[in-house]
């Protein structure tokens, strides 16, 4: 696993030890960023089930100003810390050991303005995809924001997440990437 492109291109990233965390492969990660970017002019990203932190780190390498990493597993949290340090991204990273649903309340309280949201929970926890809708409902997603959901091919996500609508869905083996953007109302 490595940083694919941008200012930290080529730096190796550690995977979370054990089998509880499923890392996003480099091939899938590269495809995600080709669909949504590939580069950014600032902004805030949230890696909601951060795992190794690979998606958030890639986003920062490609121009996102700040990434908020949410992870409750201690091994994963330690791995994210090591990866952030290795990539020298401590100044632009926020790392919280907290349950994702509680993190959303904190986002709302801070009036966080999210440009890029990664939702990649453990595949067996399909109810966690509803948290993306809760984030949209809080008003924390920018109108130009992007939601990226990574899920198993057996999981059927809705075509709409609140006011965000599915714009692209790609399959990579048993993994599906669903990308959402704010729905443009007709007449506007």
Question: Does 111 lie in the same domain as 72?
Answer: no
- The span from the CA of 10 to the CA of 57, in Å, is 12
Domain that holds residue 84: 64-98
Q: Are residues 94 and 145 in the same domain?
A: no
Q: 37 or 160, which is more confident?
A: 160
> Do residues 91 and 113 share a domain?
no
Looking up tokens 């506007």, which residue turns up? 188
Same-domain status, 125 and 74: no
DSSP-derived 3-state class of residue 32: helix
CATH number of the domain bearing residue 128: 3.40.50.150
Per-residue pLDDT of 110-129, as tens digits, reads 999 999 999 988 766 667 88
Residues in CB range of 34: below 8 A, 6 or more apart: none
pTM, two decimal places: 0.92
User: What is the distance between the alpha carbons of residues 72 and 133, in angstroms, rounded to a whole number?
Assistant: 20
Answer yes or no: do 140 and 93 share one domain.
no
Domain for residue 82, yes or no? yes
- For residue 44, give the nearest of 133, 114, 122 by alpha carbon: 114
Q: Is there a domain that residue 155 lies in?
A: yes
Whether 90 and 111 share a structural domain: no
Contact indicator for 179, 146 with CB cutoff of 8 Å: yes
Please write the tens of the pLDDT for every residue from 72-103. 999 999 999 999 999 999 999 999 999 888 99
Evaluate whether 36 touches 148 at the Cβ level (below 8 Å): yes
Confirm if 151 and 129 have CB atoms less than 8 A apart.
yes
- Confidence category of residue 33, pLDDT binned at 50, 70, 90: very high
**Structural domain includes residue 118:** yes
Residue 188 to residue 182: CA distance in whole angstroms = 13
């Amino acid at each position: 696993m490595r940083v694919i492109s941008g200012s930290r291109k080529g730096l190796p990233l550690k995977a979370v030890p054990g089998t509880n965390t499923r890392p996003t492969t480099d091939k899938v990660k590269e495809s995600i960023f080709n669909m949504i970017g590939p580069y950014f002019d600032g902004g805030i990203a949230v890696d909601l089930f951060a795992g190794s932190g690979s998606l958030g780190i890639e986003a920062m390498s490609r121009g996102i100003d700040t990434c908020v990493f949410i992870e409750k597993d201690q091994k994963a949290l330690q791995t994210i810390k090591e990866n952030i340090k290795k990539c020298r991204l401590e100044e632009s990273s926020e790392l919280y050991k907290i349950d994702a649903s509680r993190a959303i309340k904190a986002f709302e309280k801070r009036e966080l303005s999210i440009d890029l949201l990664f939702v990649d929970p453990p595949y067996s926890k399909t109810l966690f995809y509803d948290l993306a809708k809760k984030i949209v409902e809080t008003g924390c997603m920018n109108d130009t924001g992007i939601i990226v959901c990574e899920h198993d091919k057996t999981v059927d996500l809705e075509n709409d997440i609140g006011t965000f609508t599915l714009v692209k869905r790609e399959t990579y083996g048993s993994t599906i990437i669903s990308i959402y953007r704010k729905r443009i109302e007709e007449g506007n």
